Every structure is written in C-alpha cells, then in structure tokens.
Amino acid sequence: MAFPVLSAIVFLPAIAGIIILMIPEERKTEVRVTALAAATFALLLSIFVYVSYDVAAGGYQFIEEYSWLPSLGISLKLGVDGISTPLILLTGVVMFTGVLISWGIDDRPREFFAFLFILASGVFGVFASLDLFMLFFFYEIAVFPMYLLIAIWGWVKTREYAAMKLTLYLFVGSVVALVGALAMYWESGLGTFDMLALQHANFSPEFQRLWFPFVFMGFAVLGGIFPVHNWSPDGHVAAPTAVSMFHAGVLMKLGAFAALRVGIMLLPEGAKYHMKWVILLALVNVVYGAFIAMVQTDFKYVIGFSSVSHMGLVMMGFATLTEKGLIGASVQMFSHGVMTALFFAAVGMVYDRAHTREIPKLGGMAKPLPLVAFGFIVGGLVSMGMPGFSGFVAEFPIFMGVWEVKPWIAIVASISIVITASYIMLVIRRVFFGEMPAEFEGHIGPIRVLDKIAILFLVSLMMLLGLFPSVMLPMVQSGVQGVLSLLGGA
C-alpha cells in the first residue's frame, strides 16, 4: 500500500478546517482561498480514487487498517467498494462546488468553512469506513455541524426551528441504530467492530429480525424515509445554499448508504423479512413527496420535497433486494446528489438576487440569469428521468427491479414521474420565463464566475453519466454483486 489515499481524503477536510480556524478572523480572503484550495485538493483525491478503482477486480480496495483500540476490536479500517466509490466522488464534487458557491458569505466565513469541512470529513469517513464503531463516529461528526451551519447562517425565519428539528431527528435515529450496533457486536461474539468480519457472523434469523428495524430505520431517518422525513424539507429550506447542497446532495445519501451497509449487509435475513413494509414506506415517499412538492409555493420547498420523493426511489431500489434495484438505487444516489446540488445552487442564486422565493412573485429570470436557467432546466430533465441524462440511467433500473418484485408498486410509483414533470415544468415556466415583475427590472445582477464554473461542472457531470453510463455502471455492478452474495443469491 503506497499512499494512504483514503485517510488523506477523510482527514484532509478536518485538518483544513482546523487550519482555517487559526487564520485571524478579519482575513476573510485568506480564509476563502484556503478553503478553496483544500476543496480542490479533496476533489482531485476523490477523482483519483474513482479513476484508479479497479472495476475488474471489484470488492473492497484501497484498504487501510490502523489498530485503534485492540481490546474492544476497534480499528480505523478504511476501504471502498463499487457502491461507495461514486459517493466519495460525489462528496468531493459537492464540497468543491459548495465552496465556490459560498464565496460571498460575509458573516464569520472562518467558522462557516471550518464547520463545513468538519462535516465533510465526517461524510467521507462514513463512506470509507469498514469499521462499525468508526462509521458511527464519523456519522455523528457529519450530523452536529449541521445544527450550527443552519442555525447561524440559515434563513432567518425558520432556522432555529429547522436546525433543532433536524438535529434531534437525526440524533434519535443514530442512537437507536447505535444500540442495535452494540447488540450486534456482543451477539457476534467476535470481539470486533470490523464490518467485513461481522458480515460473516451468522446471526440467527430471530436476532436479525428483531434488530433490523432498529438499525435500518435508525439510519433511514437521515435517508428521509416516510414517516420520519419531515425534518428534511424544513432543514433544506432553512439552510444556506452550500449547506442545502451538502445536506440534500450528500447527507441524505449518508443515511441511505449506512442503512445499506449496516442494515442490509450485516443483517440480510432481517432485510428479507422486513422489506415488505419498507418498500411500502418508500412508495409513500415517492408519490406523496411528489404531490406535496407540486403544491408548494416556495421555490426551495419544491426542491426540498422533490428530494424526499427521489430519496424514496433510492430506498425502494434497496428494498427490492434485486440486482437491478440495487444498481439503480446506487446510481440514483450519485445522480440525485449532483442534481440536487445543482437545484439548490440555482435556487440560492435566484434568491440572493430577488430576495424572495415565492413562485408567484418571480418571473422572467432566464433573461438576466441565463446560465442559472440552463442549469435548472438540465437538473429538471434529470429529475424527470429524461433519457440522455443521469436520472434515466438511475431510475430505469429501479423501476425494472421493482417490477420484478411487485409490479403494482412500480405502476403506482410511476405516477411520480408524471407529477415530477409537471411541477418541474411549472417552476421553470413561472420562475425563469414569462413576464419579469417590474420591481426586479434592472436589480438582478449577473452571477459570479465561480458560480458559473460550479453550474457548468455539475451539468457536465450529469450529461456525462447520462450519455456514457458505462463510466459508472460496471463499478456499481461490482459493488452490488458483493451485496447480493451476502443476501444469498437473491
């Protein structure tokens, strides 16, 4: 093992965050430049991991292991497989674009970037951890900076309420999952938190059925599963732009990913037993989320609820426990992450200039902000699952997988595609086209160069994946094979 690239990725943001905290408060430019440098570096590292992951070999790669607390079998074990590698890349992308978008933050930027980077470290850590204890450790690190980021830099009207709601929901979920994880640890009798070892612990079916709901639902809270989803739209809306991007783009994937890693992969028997109702909950997410999104008048709430709907598709893909469903869900995590980041970036840019997000009050934004409109439209096409964009690559296999298991659920869920199309079209027409209200005439300034880079970067990623699915599908497939082998060739 030459260069410990995963630990570099995981710890780089936290170290950068600490360095940023040491820069004197008033030197805001230095703070921003340091943040951008660190984010660029993290992005390059994550691209490096993505490119050099050996798809043919599959399995866990870049494994690093450092003994941490031998007496309890805790080690810092890092490694990525075909499912987590795209998510590492996603985190790198969102972190980079998030910093670009946040250039204009003027209230205590030092603390803002420091907290954001500590959060990013936690996110990278969860995706790369192969040790159950460390996974929890990083999971919690990814949760608490969110509170401060939303409460301090969020939207004045709802930030206190939304931040506390979000933190409490997520904390409840994680501690419930923690009790389940401790039960697994003692039940296995292996004396280790190594997940690769726990995968072969042969838990009895009764044990798995008892604990699966705790672990899976505990993490799925962060994945936004119904009925514990309602922290998420409030949180998205109250958060500042970069944090919304992180939050909807990456954090919700964290929940879904941990539910897969710990819930489904460690307790496969429990998963098979309980998936009947999980798939129904996910169906509620998909359809109900889309309907609620349609009736929102706040631009950002539309996107917030559309995230609930799309994350439902991820959960639904997992719940099929079939190859197609799992592949689709994994690609959807990446695709939705990029798409939502783009959406929230666009919403933020419009709001920063118009100072309102009420759809009826907006209009004609495409003229002063052509690139933002372009980005939003591409995001909308992805969201509708239009062929040629990444959304299609992701959603099509999910529906195929669901059809294999329960055709009627696939039919009901497909309603959501129609509704999604309708609300996305509606928003595009109302916000970006039509008459611009007189009050905005001449007040809508252009966006920064950095904003343009961020939009173009996100757009090109989605088109790349849409046009050449082969850049990701084989990798994800190799990861899914690992999950299927644990499920016993389901």
| Chain positions contacting other proteins, by CB under 8 A | 21, 25, 68-72, 108, 111, 133, 136-138, 140-141, 143-144, 147-148, 151-152, 160, 163-164, 167-168, 171-172, 175-176, 178-179, 182-183, 185-186
Beta carbon nearer to other proteins, 164 or 201? 164
For residue 34, the minimal CB distance to other proteins (Å) is 17
Nearer to other proteins, 210 or 453 (CB): 210
Q: What is the nearest approach in angstroms of other proteins to the Cβ of residue 126?
A: 12
73 or 397: CB nearest other proteins? 73
Q: Are 80 and 240 in contact (CB under 8 A)?
A: no
User: In terms of CB distance, is 108 or 448 closer to other proteins?
Assistant: 108
**Two structure tokens written together for 247:** 């939050």
Q: Which is nearer to other proteins, 22 or 57 (CB)?
A: 22
- Residue identified by tokens 């040790």 is 131
Do 188 and 207 contact (CB within 8 A), yes or no? no
Strands, E, within 237-299: which ranges? none
Minimum distance, C-beta of residue 160 to other proteins, in the bound complex (Å)? 7
**Pick 53 or 136: Cβ nearer other proteins:** 136
**Contact between residue 378 and residue 389 where contact means Cβ atoms under 8 Å apart:** yes
Taking the complex as a whole, how short is the minimal distance between the CB of residue 198 and other proteins, in angstroms?
A: 15
- Report how far residue 478's alpha carbon sits from residue 58's, in angstroms, rounded to the nearest whole number: 5
Nearer to other proteins, 75 or 241 (CB): 75
DSSP-assigned states of every residue in 314-356: HHHHHHH-SHHHHHHHHHHHHHHHHHHHHHHHHHHHHHHHHS-
> What DSSP letter does each residue of 196-241 carry, written as one string?
HHHTTS---HHHHHHHHHHHHHHHHHHHT-TTS-THHHHHHHHS-H
Residue with tokens 């933020």: 348
> What is d(CA 233, CA 230) in angstroms, rounded to the nearest whole number?
6
End-to-end CA distance of the chain: 34
CB of 194 to other proteins, least distance (A): 16
**Those residues with Cβ within 8 angstroms of residue 335's Cβ, 6 or more apart along the chain or in another chain:** 382, 390, 391, 393, 394, 462, 465
Q: How far, in Å, CA of 299 to CA of 357, rounded?
A: 5
Q: Which two tokens stand for residue 129?
A: 């951890």
- The residue among 72 and 425 lying less far from other proteins, judged by its C-beta, is 72
CB of 150 to other proteins, least distance (A): 10
What is the smallest separation between the CB atom of 242 and other proteins, expressed in angstroms?
18
Q: Closest approach of Cβ 140 to other proteins, in Å?
A: 5
